[in-house]
Structure 1
Amino acid sequence: MNYRLPFLCLLSIAPFFVKAQASAQLNAAEIRQGLAALNVTGSVLYIAAHPDDENTRLLTYLSKEKKVRTGYLSLTRGDGGQNLIGTEQGDLLGLIRTQELLAARRTDGAEQFFSRANDFGFSKTSEESFKIWGKEQILSDVVWVIRNFQPDVIITRFPEDARAGHGHHQASAILAREAFAAAADPKRFPEQLKFVKIWKTKRIVWNTFNFGGANTTSDDQIKLDVGVFNPLLGKSYGEIAAESRSNHKSQGFGSALQRGSAIEFFSPVAGDAAQKDLFEGLDFKLDRNKGTEKAQQMLNAINAAYDAAAPAKSIPALLQLKEEVKNLPFKHQQLDELILACAGIWMETTTPEPAYALDDSVPVLVSVISRVGAGFPMKITLQDLSRGKVSDLNPNQMATQTVILSARSIGITQPYWLKQTHPTGSYLIDSLNHLGMPEAPAPSAGVYRISFGKQFIDITRPIVYKHTDPVKGELYQPLVIAPPVTATMTEKSFLFSNNTPKKITVQLKSFKEGLKGLISPQVPAGWKVSPEKVEIDLPAKGTVKNLEFIITPAGTVSSGKLSIWAAVDGKTYNQGLKVLSYDHIPVQTLFPFAEAKVERADLKFAGMNIGYIAGAGDLIPESLTQIGYHVTWLTEKQVIDGDLSAYDAIITGVRLYNISDQISAMQPKLMEYVKNGGTMLVQYNVNGTLKFNDIGPYPFRLTRDRVTDEDAKVSFLAPNDAALNFPNKITAKDFDGWIQERGLYFAGDIDSHYVPVLGMNDIGEPSGNGSLLVAPFGKGKFVYTSLAFFRELPAGVPGAYRLFVNLISKN
């Protein structure tokens, strides 16, 4: 028995959980769409590597025009990319992009799936991707999704060769093809067959493309016009697709609405090759399943008689259909939701507070209303199956119940893939129930039964916190179950200059009343912490208190981990608090381990007053502040009209020249600052959509070249340059321990005024010299660097700090 399909089918019918809202109401046109979809039994699974790889226009067409069950399997959650809306990186960025994908799927009507693969950053080959991910494990994940979803057709976004442009892209195509065969083989991953059956997909095809300078389409390929207009929805699928894609805000993918014919092309990969039509040889009619002939006749009559002005008229016939198909293969969850929609039944389960501690009781208000008209021919009731209480649902009258739940029965609410510290290649998942799912099912107050006379529908709704904002109106956010106290440090890593002590601030937050306990930091062997323990007394829920500890490096251990432990009510907790709040996704609350990396380094300084101009978002200012720099955030007006001479160095945030509409006005002032003796460091920009091309005082061009191997050998092209000598002597050791990559979008066609300082390359490629350029200009110094300092400094890489300090130091 496929025990996951009912939950997944729920996601395919309508946007029921928009921004954590408990129960959005389908309109008459959407009900009409849903009734027509009951006639269709087919399914299509689209497979690629990252959030944003999916073809939203095709997904929209498949789900809303062809009305087949449509899914997108993204191997990763996009954790390794850049963030254009904030400073989150790594796992936090993956969490944002997971929610952006879910928002996109609510728009285009498809379902969302993931494997355990972690996006470790740009990869040049599929071999590297498989080595880091563990190919067999991720292949098993793809097979698991196929066996659960049971697609008739699989579509890949990318080819298996270099035309894919990214090792992850290539890997996604290879895994899709191999999983296509393995899912039908009982000898492959037999442990899955306790829960799912083998599944043979009819065909797998490649959705060829014409973008990024590569045209892989041809006239002899299968074609499909997906630019159709849907009069029920009042939009073309190109318009809906653009709205879907615009949810990828962390990647800056706001899209213009597309109207008119749009041809998609497909090339066969494996299975039964189609000649003219993507669905050739496939019967998607309901009555292809034995025993559904009568159900097909009933459904035809229901669709023919549907009255958009009075959907409730369809309920008796839909209930008869429900009885007819109860033991047959059918879209049972969709049918139930359509019956509820026709009755105008709306249900939500809400709490009066946003968060509860693990040992709290949680009061939940259950609210249900039916909007059938007076004189409806059958009685509608609500029954709490867990507690037996029954209420009549009178037309347009709200019925409410209050239930009390144990927070511990729900457990701490945490993204399931982040519950454990994971290696670089993949997340650690402790339950097959979660594998493939975008997130765990939300907590519920139990199963409720809506009865229409003798017929009934059992439903659940997620528990949410509902409140009213004076500007934004009614808002929902997911319920939070928290540890009784959290201890959060300001940084993920702390760099200590030699044995100089550092003050560390720990922010406590209480999630229960009358909390008393003991806070104990743990430091590497030989290091010292003062005080060693602190008694805490937080009388009220929600109390926030900052504690300060002095950490002093000592002994022979130069690196390790700082952990904060809280002892409360005989239990110990080691969790911090992180809240991600963006308007386009539900509020995300998670409880990462209360740990930070600590490193001792030989670090010298020259000039401590820094001006910083924000770009797309990085944590460079915070990283510099914690090692002693005074950092001033400069506005565009301050740059254009202010006196910059007080700053020892000015740093631009990542991608500033890609996103700032004022950079052309700021640039002359910045170049004047350098000419008069200042130091300016420009972090990486991408080679497309530059708002201003002349980034430095002398010309160079941005390329797409990068070095993805974080351990790649680095050669010193200018060993005597101050960048490698003052105030810190840089050696090969300073390039140990870098994360994810060396750098990206290196410079090319470099003017002779610049000194290329470093050479580096990935295996099998020629060494490049565009990662770090230094040029004197007037009395000052200009630095352009494509090195990934925006990753290395927040990660506490000592050598990266030492080199960065040199670059912003006055010679």
Structure 2
Amino acid sequence: MKHLKLLAAILLVTSVVQAQTAPPSDAITIQQELKKLDVLGSVLYVAAHPDDENTRLLAYLALEKHYRTGYLALTRGDGGQNLIGNEQSELLGLIRTQELLAARRVDGAEQFFSRANDFGFSKGPEETLKIWDHEKVLGDAVWVIRNFRPDIIICRFTTTGEGGHGHHTSSAIIAQEAFAAAADPKRFPEQLKYTQVWQAKRLLVNGANFGGANTEGPFKISTGAYNAVLGKGYGEVSADSRSNHKTQGFGSAKQRGDATETFRIILGDAPKTDLMDGVNTTWSRVKGGEGISAEIATIRKNLDIDHPEKSVPALVALLTKVEAISDPYWKEQKTKGLKDLIAACAGLWFEAYAPQATYAVGEEISVRTQVVLRSDIDVKIFTIGYNRDLSPFTMFPTEPIKNANSDFSVEAPILANTPKDFNDKIKADEVTQPYWLKYPHGVGLYETGYLDKNDKDGDVGQKTLPENIPYSAWITFKILGKNIQFERPIQYKYVDPAKGEIYQPLVIAPPVTANIVNKDYVFNTQQTQTVQIKMQAFTKAAGSISLKPVAGWKISPEKIDFDQAKGAEWLASFIITPADSKQKVSTLQAVVKTGGKEWNLGIQRILYDHVPAITLFPPAETKLINIDLKTAGKKIGYVAGAGDLVPEALMQVGYEVHQLTEADIMNADLSVYDAIVTGVRAYNVNPRLAVMQPRLLDYVNKGGNLVVQYNNNNGIVVNPGPYPFRPVNQRVTDENAAVTFLDPTNPVLNYPNKITQADFEGWIQERGLYFVSNIDPKYKTILQMNDPGEQPNPGSLIVGDYGKGRFIYTSLAFFRELPAGVPGAYRLFVNLLSKPR
């Protein structure tokens, strides 16, 4: 019985995580939810990344057919590029997670992930599945299937490679294997302590055209219907959903009118007339469901949209019947929907919020729970309690919880349209670190400590969810004499003078955070550098900050004591000196000692208007990089592109970097710059570069040095160079690929640093992307490289003289290598900036 309660708990976790302060209660939502109440069917869509999902199909399945619909993205999109900022890797994955949740709030589906890390472009599934750890990612997919219990599973991609990306193909392979493994008790038996085996009816691939590779299938459905309740067709809903993928520049036009989706059967029997052929999606599929559909039909027929509270008695009676059905899965799904319907129809609004954004671990959080009843339905408060026990055994209690500190009496009445507040305090017990970032991880897989064969139970409740289970208030109302319990996440609420009322996630921080000012410290002599640490106290705290000793480096002082009030911010400074030239790259860690504990976390906030505020606590560490590096020139002009951290990296090695505006380029004296650099994808994202380009080429012609970093092959506003070439979708993804020097005497390989093969050691993620072809003979190709089994590619770095100056185009991934502190990448990029006089 305990495990059945656990299973029910897991099935509801997603709705908790995605919950807003209060679910919508408008007439559209009420009518849509009444329709969904009468459908017992579920569909899981599987692909690799954020943006891979077919939002029109998801919207059609969730909002037209009213199936429980989910999207399993195996990765969070960490390895892509960011078109709206400079966040990369895990930070980009955090933003894209929230973009997916925003998309799901539009199209009505739910969101899941595996532990797989998007490590960058992969040319085949063999590489992908090896890096990911095939068995663990498969286990995550099986876990989702066993708990979500889809009647059918749909893949976006095929196992035969038409998707063009190793992650895409791998997602289809994983889905196909998981289809069978989820039903096999011998596969991942450790999961069966918490869940049950599940056999989906069929697995299909959703047809598409991938750059000419057509995967369309013979079975077709129309998804272009118009939903009169929503006032939109699913092509319009789809565009609204997809346009949330802003980091990828996926703003989409709304399509209206008929549209067709095609499918091909992979496993199971082929559908003949409907995707759900052979699946009972009515209440007759569950024992005890007799008569429920008829009652729902009566409620829908009698719904007075101007007075939905008239339907509350029938909905409360129906809830009692649904609670009596024997199927734990559908009982939990439908009771949750029914409870929200009852609250919406009764005009019962309630939320829980805190008066400040951030608290320290161990502090008391003041929580205000506010309730308003906007009808004359008989509703009383029964209990209010708080729970963030991450064990699913108690995540969804069957008995009402009550906080002993609550300031109300049992069965406190609620007066119509009269707000009532309840004030309580709870303890902040754990840092709100995104659960997949709690532990160090490798290239291919996040370590979450959950449910591997040799694991303890761990934090099973959050496994594969998009974000952490929140601190929550649990409110039990007595509605027409029946106890009905609801959950509301505790959020921070405030009023912005320009934007109005704002809700943001509640943040629990360490007592003191330590942010080392620079991500890297680059040394190229025996000189000392000052490492500054920005300290912040989230509670009154006394203790010390120190840097862990590192072989080959001298650190002074040994520690710095502090005694600070809550809210204080201050700087701590340490002197670092290289003591051993053999130590090329070392990790420096800060340690805060306070309250008898050690903490080594910083704090970072990511703020964009289209997603909730994101707060994480990265390790308080930096890299010490000892490089044999010579520089020439001093002043660099930088033209921003899609967002990168190259300017900060250049400042680390002593360059004076000026961010150039259009006015600067058009009117200022560009000859003062030793080099001008354009950021990644600048010629894709800035249409004004077509206007600025003649001035940039004039700068080169008069003796300047222009370095253009990679651009996508689609949508370049103007040829970046003085002579023709063409970026194409070719790359070298093996970061250890052999590099051949085609022009070893060229200055970019010799001045001011002599580049050797050692400078291509330690690169991360890839060598380069969007190499160039159709290269005019006036350019010199400098390097050649290739992935295994492919032809050598000379398109990663080209150099051309133009007038008195030099033009360089590079597809090498400097935007990844420099922030990662790769010594050879620094040496080579400095050479690109250094035109011999």
Which residue type is aligned with residue 550 of structure 1? Answer: I
- After TM superposition, the structure 1 = structure 2 runs for residues 490-501 of structure 1, keeping only pairs within 5 Å, are 490-501=517-528
Q: Distance in 2 between matches of 1:280 and 1:25?
A: 32
Alignment deviations for residues 479-519 of structure 1 (CA, whole Å, 9 cap, x no partner): 11111111102333322213232222211111113x32211
Asked if structure 1 preserves the Cα contact closer than 8 Å seen for 2:224 and 2:257, the reply is yes
> What SS class does the counterpart of residue 645 from structure 1 fall into?
helix
Asked if structure 1 preserves the Cα contact closer than 8 Å seen for 2:10 and 2:461, the reply is no
Alignment deviations for residues 763-802 of structure 1 (CA, whole Å, 9 cap, x no partner): 0000100000111111111110000000000000000000
Which residue type is aligned with residue 438 of structure 1? Answer: P
1:421 to 434, 440, 450: 440
Alignment partner, residue 140 of structure 1: 139
Q: Distance in 2 between matches of 1:343 and 1:394?
A: 13
Cα distance change on mapping 1:340 and 1:619 into 2, 3 Å = same
Cα distance change on mapping 1:737 and 1:15 into 2, 3 Å = closer
Alignment partner, residue 544 of structure 2: 518
2:720 to 695, 698, 713: 695
Q: Distance in 2 between matches of 1:688 and 1:198?
A: 45
Point out the more displaced range, 413-422 or 300-309: 300-309
Q: Does 1:432 align with 2:429?
A: no
> What SS class does the counterpart of residue 457 from structure 1 fall into?
strand
Cα distance change on mapping 1:379 and 1:128 into 2, 3 Å = closer
Asked if structure 2 preserves the Cα contact closer than 8 Å seen for 1:14 and 1:26, the reply is no
Asked if structure 1 preserves the Cα contact closer than 8 Å seen for 2:520 and 2:652, the reply is no
Cα distance change on mapping 1:367 and 1:7 into 2, 3 Å = farther
- The alignment of Structure 1 onto Structure 2 pairs a total of residues equal to 796
2:364 to 340, 361, 364: 361
How far residue 537 of structure 1 moved from its aligned partner, in angstroms, is 3.1
Q: Does 1:239 align with 2:229?
A: no
Cα distance change on mapping 1:5 and 1:689 into 2, 3 Å = farther
Alignment deviations for residues 8-47 of structure 1 (CA, whole Å, 9 cap, x no partner): 5575699742xxxx11432012111101111100000000
Asked if structure 1 preserves the Cα contact closer than 8 Å seen for 2:7 and 2:194, the reply is no
- After TM superposition, the structure 1 = structure 2 runs for residues 374-389 of structure 1, keeping only pairs within 5 Å, are 374=376, 376=377, 378-384=378-384, 385-387=401-403, 389=408
Q: Distance in 2 between matches of 1:14 and 1:481?
A: 16
Alignment partner, residue 254 of structure 1: 251
Q: Distance in 2 between matches of 1:404 and 1:137?
A: 40
Q: Does 1:458 align with 2:485?
A: yes
> What SS class does the counterpart of residue 254 from structure 2 fall into?
coil
Alignment partner, residue 167 of structure 2: 168
Point out the more displaced range, 154-163 or 386-395: 386-395
Q: Distance in 1 between matches of 2:379 and 2:765?
A: 62
Alignment partner, residue 601 of structure 1: 627
Q: Distance in 2 between matches of 1:93 and 1:671?
A: 34
> What SS class does the counterpart of residue 199 from structure 1 fall into?
coil
Q: Does 1:395 align with 2:421?
A: no
Asked if structure 1 preserves the Cα contact closer than 8 Å seen for 2:16 and 2:487, the reply is no
> What SS class does the counterpart of residue 95 from structure 1 fall into?
helix
Q: Does 1:735 align with 2:760?
A: yes
TM-score (norm 1): 0.96
C-alpha RMSD of matched pairs (Å): 1.5
Asked if structure 2 preserves the Cα contact closer than 8 Å seen for 1:524 and 1:557, the reply is no
Alignment deviations for residues 640-683 of structure 1 (CA, whole Å, 9 cap, x no partner): 11111100000001001001121011100000101111111000
Asked if structure 2 preserves the Cα contact closer than 8 Å seen for 1:507 and 1:546, the reply is yes
Asked if structure 1 preserves the Cα contact closer than 8 Å seen for 2:152 and 2:203, the reply is yes
How far residue 291 of structure 1 moved from its aligned partner, in angstroms, is 2.1
Q: Does 1:407 align with 2:428?
A: yes
> What SS class does the counterpart of residue 461 from structure 1 fall into?
strand
Q: Does 1:212 align with 2:239?
A: no
Asked if structure 2 preserves the Cα contact closer than 8 Å seen for 1:15 and 1:107, the reply is no
Instruction: Give unmatched runs, 5+ long, in structure 1.
Output: none
Q: Does 1:325 align with 2:325?
A: no
- After TM superposition, the structure 1 = structure 2 runs for residues 86-97 of structure 1, keeping only pairs within 5 Å, are 86-97=85-96
How far residue 393 of structure 1 moved from its aligned partner, in angstroms, is 1.5
Alignment partner, residue 800 of structure 1: 825
Q: Distance in 1 between matches of 2:765 and 2:5?
A: 38
1:764 to 789, 795, 808: 789
Alignment partner, residue 507 of structure 2: 480
Q: Distance in 1 between matches of 2:9 and 2:192?
A: 18
Alignment partner, residue 198 of structure 1: 197
Alignment deviations for residues 26-69 of structure 1 (CA, whole Å, 9 cap, x no partner): 20121111011111000000000000000000000000000000
Q: Identity, % of aligned pairs? A: 51
Asked if structure 2 preserves the Cα contact closer than 8 Å seen for 1:114 and 1:437, the reply is yes
- After TM superposition, the structure 1 = structure 2 runs for residues 218-233 of structure 1, keeping only pairs within 5 Å, are 221-233=218-230
Q: Distance in 2 between matches of 1:150 and 1:6?
A: 14
Q: Distance in 1 between matches of 2:53 and 2:5?
A: 26
Q: Distance in 2 between matches of 1:596 and 1:646?
A: 33
Q: Distance in 2 between matches of 1:424 and 1:650?
A: 33
How far residue 380 of structure 1 moved from its aligned partner, in angstroms, is 3.1
Q: Distance in 2 between matches of 1:805 and 1:294?
A: 76
Alignment partner, residue 711 of structure 1: 736
Cα distance change on mapping 1:315 and 1:294 into 2, 3 Å = same
How far residue 337 of structure 1 moved from its aligned partner, in angstroms, is 0.9
- After TM superposition, the structure 1 = structure 2 runs for residues 407-806 of structure 1, keeping only pairs within 5 Å, are 407-408=428-429, 411-430=430-449, 431-445=459-473, 447-513=474-540, 515-539=541-565, 541-555=566-580, 556-692=582-718, 694-806=719-831
Q: Distance in 1 between matches of 2:782 and 2:749?
A: 8
TM-score (norm 2): 0.93
How far residue 404 of structure 1 moved from its aligned partner, in angstroms, is 0.8
Cα distance change on mapping 1:443 and 1:95 into 2, 3 Å = same
Cα distance change on mapping 1:533 and 1:16 into 2, 3 Å = closer
How far residue 432 of structure 1 moved from its aligned partner, in angstroms, is 2.4
> What SS class does the counterpart of residue 727 from structure 1 fall into?
coil
Alignment partner, residue 393 of structure 2: none
Alignment partner, residue 263 of structure 2: 266
Cα distance change on mapping 1:223 and 1:168 into 2, 3 Å = same
Alignment deviations for residues 447-469 of structure 1 (CA, whole Å, 9 cap, x no partner): 21011132121112111111101
Asked if structure 2 preserves the Cα contact closer than 8 Å seen for 1:15 and 1:24, the reply is no
- After TM superposition, the structure 1 = structure 2 runs for residues 51-130 of structure 1, keeping only pairs within 5 Å, are 51-130=50-129
How far residue 264 of structure 1 moved from its aligned partner, in angstroms, is 0.4
Q: Distance in 1 between matches of 2:462 and 2:543?
A: 35
Which residue type is aligned with residue 191 of structure 1? Answer: E
Alignment partner, residue 33 of structure 1: 32
Q: Distance in 2 between matches of 1:627 and 1:457?
A: 63
Which residue type is aligned with residue 339 of structure 1? Answer: I
> What SS class does the counterpart of residue 462 from structure 2 fall into?
coil
Instruction: Give unmatched runs, 5+ long, in structure 2.
Output: 385-400, 450-458
Asked if structure 1 preserves the Cα contact closer than 8 Å seen for 2:16 and 2:469, the reply is no
Which residue type is aligned with residue 469 of structure 2? Answer: P
Which residue type is aligned with residue 422 of structure 1? Answer: H
